[in-house]
Amino acid sequence: MPKNLKNEILLVGKGLKDKISYAKNVKSLEDIRISALGKKGEITNYLKQLKSFDHEQRIQLGSVLNEIKNNLLNSLEEKKRIIINEELEKKLLDEKIDITLQESPNNQGTLHPLSKTIDDISAIFADMGFEIAVGPDIETDYYNFTALNIPEDHPARQEHDTFYLQPDHDGFRKVLRTHTSPVQIRTLEKINIEKLDELRVIVPGRTYRSDHDATHSPMFHQCEGLVIGKKIKMSHLKGALIEFCRVFFGSENLPVRFRPSFFPFTEPSAEVDIGCKKLQDGSLSIGGGEDWLEILGSGMVHPKVLSGVGIDPDLYQGFAFGMGLERLTMLKYGIPDLRPFYDSDLRWLKHYGFLGIEETSLHSGLNGVNS
Ligand code: PHE
């Protein structure tokens, strides 16, 4: 066999093998196969030339060409498998869902200042043996006014700026409760005071009045308090409320003042003020000082209210109080405007809100107890 020819063939084989190893996809592999082993392929051409050699040379050259041909076919097969595998892997990788992606930290919520206030108030009164009671936001005229000794022609009804609903089929118009006091009546109707040594409840909840400015919102929150027992006196009212104010504002010697007032459902009635100081910049400092700030209404439950729910006022007495929760929250945390309370603005919440729910959280009580 001409030596040169054999070398030439081996070189061509090597060149084709290199091309196979550099191939990037199945299509170029197929091109290489055709260029080598197709009808007009390089190796095919050599095979076609075999017949011009003598027998001996034909056998030698034929075996070299066949070896190269088989070798190339194996390489093509092997490379094809590798390319298909790589393509599959790339496809899988592209389609993979990255479940390690971090949640946006902006979405983390904080406890709304009002919720914090409700939790704090609930915890303070729980320590004094109070339970949480609830009642409906939509009230009848009877519970919101009449049963609380506010008859139809009473001027207090006008002061409440009541939202009235469309008349029911029986012609009566329900109201959005203007205070949490109707829950006093609902609770007293439900319990049997003779079996109960003493009733102590607070009622945190939503209330409504047609009023809107920097310190008033048509929907706001109050917390009612009610204690009924055989020996309840004005001194209990004072003791409980002084204790509450001092713990809530975190000021042990906070001055607390009881100022005569009027509510149809309490007699005597008192408004409760706490001592404060007006600072140069116009803000308030809770605690000692020249000024007083009104924070809640209170009084001894009116005998008419008790007898109205079948409790003998000669045997039982009690005290009640009611406070605006937005107002308390604004005072405690120095929040100047009420309106952003309901804007759901995360920047405001980040500024005034509280991270994490504390272990004392009794807020859930709003949804269940005594309903
Ligand atoms: N309900 C009264 C108000 O909304 C507050 C209050 C409650 C006063 C209980 C006395 C007793 O202003």
Kindly state whether residues 138 and 204 are assigned to the same domain. Answer: yes
Do 83 and 147 reside in the same domain of the chain? no
Same domain, 236 and 157: yes
267 and 165 share one domain:
yes
For residue 365, pLDDT over 60 is answered with: no
Judgement on whether residues 309 and 184 belong to the same structural domain of the protein:
yes
For ligand 1, is residue 181 a contact (CB within 6 Å)? Answer: yes
User: What pLDDT does 106 receive?
Assistant: 62
pLDDT at 214 over 60: yes
Same domain, 200 and 252: yes
**Is position 200 within any domain?**
yes
Identify the residue whose C-alpha is closest to ligand 1 atom 4: 179
Å from CA of 349 to ligand 1 middle = 29
Q: Is 364 domain-assigned?
A: no
Range(s) of the domain holding residue 314: 113-354
- Name, in order, each residue with C-beta under 8 angstroms of 259's C-beta and a sequence gap of 6 or more: 270, 271, 272, 273, 294
State mean pLDDT over 189-201.
94
- Residue 349 CA to residue 340 CA, distance in Å, equals 9
Task: Tell me, yes or no, whether 134 and 70 share the same domain.
Answer: no
For residue 107, being part of any structural domain is answered with no
The model's pLDDT over 44-68, given as tens digits with 9 standing for 90+, comes to 999 999 889 899 889 999 999 999 9
Residue 299 CB–ligand 1 contact under 6 Å: yes
Mark whether 129 and 59 lie in a shared domain: no
Task: Tell me, yes or no, whether 17 lies in a domain.
Answer: yes
Ligand 1 site, residue 319, Cβ cutoff 6 A? no
Q: How do residues 269-281 score in pLDDT, each as one tens digit?
A: 999 999 998 888 8
Give 262 Cα–ligand 1 centroid separation in angstroms.
Answer: 10
Pairing label, strands 199-208, 131-132: parallel
**Residues 168 and 24 placed together within one structural domain of the fold:** no
pLDDT winner (highest mean) among 92-101, 167-176, 198-207: 198-207
- Cβ atoms < 10 Å from Cβ of 357: 15
pTM of the model: 0.70
Number of domains in the chain: 2
User: Ligand 1: distance of its center to the CA of 291 in Å?
Assistant: 23
List, for residues 117-157, the tens digit of each pLDDT value.
999 999 999 999 999 999 999 999 999 999 999 988 887 78
For residues 359 and 110, the model is more confident at 110
Length of the chain: 371
- Specify whether 80 is located in the same domain as 135: no
Q: Are 113 and 350 in contact (CB under 8 A)?
A: no
- 182 ligand 1 Cβ < 6 A: no
Does residue 179's CB lie within 6 angstroms of at least one atom of ligand 1?
A: yes
Q: Are residues 27 and 145 in the same domain?
A: no
Q: Percent helix, strand, coil in the chain (nearest 5)?
A: 45, 20, 35
Whether ligand 1 lies within 6 angstroms of the CB of 202 is answered as no
Give the pLDDT confidence score for residue 31 in this predicted structure.
95
Claim to verify: residue 270 and residue 122 sit in the same structural domain: yes
Q: What is the pLDDT of residues 152-181, one digit of tens each?
A: 888 778 777 899 999 999 889 999 999 999
* Pocket probe mutation, ligand 1, options 145, 177, 181, max atoms within 8 Å of Cβ: 181
- Measured from the CB, is residue 317 less than 6 Å from ligand 1? no
Mean pLDDT throughout 315-332?
96
